[in-house]
Homo-oligomer: A and B are copies of this chain.
């Protein structure tokens, strides 16, 4: 039964042809164009049809006046029509032999209006009768780089190991775009909205068995069937690492969820218990989810909690040690014999060989930095080496810029495994245009070296602690 369900959904991710029904033909930019732009940009290479009763042309592509007029088969329809005519589109799709419809269209049960709830029920009922599956309504649909499906022209073209199930389209976009900046790539991302047919449990069962997906990240506002979802979660956590962001954890958030996807949020305690029992990593923001993904993907599993922090700034050193230690990591003092080794080639002035290490030599002496890293990372007292740059602490943007360039010039060629200990980077982005470009280049350089990059010490320590805690529990379990 489970396998047949999974096979059922596989076609969603590999349609042989797609039609965008209800795409605008207006001259000005319109949100419905994002689907065309997404598919074109990612290089969708099977037949792609545009449909709008007005006909005409968009970007050189013929617009058919109805689905019926489309010459070839249509596997998958992206429905961009008005809610009221959605049921009629399902009928037309059935006549055309369409297998699945993703309704981006909003204005259904999420409005809370009785008539709109009825309309959504009608939609699901027709689809069920006609044997068509529906994704949505009120969602962004599918991003699957492997099969060249995308709903944004700015999503990465390459695939990766992260599968995402998100009730919200906007949150899925936020996740993909921000995570992409950090080097994370995705197998399949599904924004599933009101879930009148295909729901979170279907998708979770599918991704649990999907060979291309190693980690499953979920954004969920409410679930349709608690028992089935729990079973699906039990299976999923056996196969993969699962991260959950539960929207609507507060009264106000739950009300917003009801108005967003008509979801019933459920109590925070129930969700907390589920995550604890099944070893799901629970996060409370998309940013935190991304930090956990970065840690799982790019930081080797640490053998312990002792970190060495390496960068510049006396005051910064105090605060970042606090940030790390208050989040369950340890910043042990460097033993004298290690200090003595480094002192042999490092001047006293400006180079504080404590932990954190405040090392101005990094400004000028690349060789010295590499040598120091090497000595420090051989020290058995630590499990993790963290290189950091805090730009805002320098008196001018020019110094920040030099610091970033020099320290990172040192680290760019350094990949994970170059030193005997796992390596992470904390690179605080700057919004000041004078230094933003340099730090962004540094971030991109480190990510190109497949290093875990965090934007703050607090978020780095928090994510590393979450992953370590998860690993500790997981190994106890198995």
Contact = CB atoms under 8 A, between A and B. Distances in A.
Interface of A: 29, 34, 37-38, 106-107, 110-111, 138, 140, 151-154, 166-174, 177-178, 181, 219, 221, 245, 247-253, 255-257, 259-261, 284-286, 313-319, 321-326, 330-333, 348-350, 352, 354-356, 358, 390, 392-398, 429, 431-433, 436-437, 440, 443, 458
B247 A319 contact: yes
B397 A154 contact: yes
B252 A396 contact: no
22 contacts: A29-B398, A106-B350, A111-B348, A151-B395, A153-B395, A154-B397, A170-B393, A173-B393, A174-B315, A174-B316, A219-B315, A221-B318, A247-B319, A252-B321, A253-B322, A256-B354, A256-B356, A257-B318, A260-B317, A260-B318, A285-B319, A431-B443
Given A171-B319, A177-B392, 7 more contacts: A34-B395, A170-B315, A174-B315, A248-B322, A253-B325, A253-B331, A433-B440
B285 A323 contact: yes
Contacts of A255: 321, 331, 333, 354-355
A331 B322 CA distance: 33
Contacts of A29: 398
Contacts of A398: 29
Given A322-B250, A326-B249, A174 B393 contact: yes
State the oligomeric state as a number of copies.
Answer: 2
Given A321-B255, A355-B252, A458 B168 contact: no
A34 B257 CA distance: 52
A256 B310 CA distance: 12
Contact of A325 (B251, B392, B440): B251
- A-B pairs, 10 with minimum CB distance: A168-B315, A252-B331, A250-B325, A171-B315, A253-B322, A170-B393, A152-B395, A247-B318, A260-B314, A252-B321
Contacts of A140: 395
A161 B146 CA distance: 57
Contacts of A168: 314-316, 318
Contacts of A152: 395-396
Which of A153, A248, A253 has the most chain B CB within a 10 Å cutoff?
A: A253
Given A153-B395, A395-B34, A440-B433, A169 B252 contact: no
A321 B395 contact: no
Contact of A318 (B253, B322, B431): B253
A174 B456 CA distance: 14
Given A260-B315, A326-B249, A437 B433 contact: yes
A333 to B, nearest CB: 6
A249 B327 CA distance: 12
A154 B396 contact: yes
Contacts of A390: 170, 174
Contacts of A253: 318-319, 321-322, 325, 331
A50 to B, nearest CB: 18
B392 A173 contact: yes
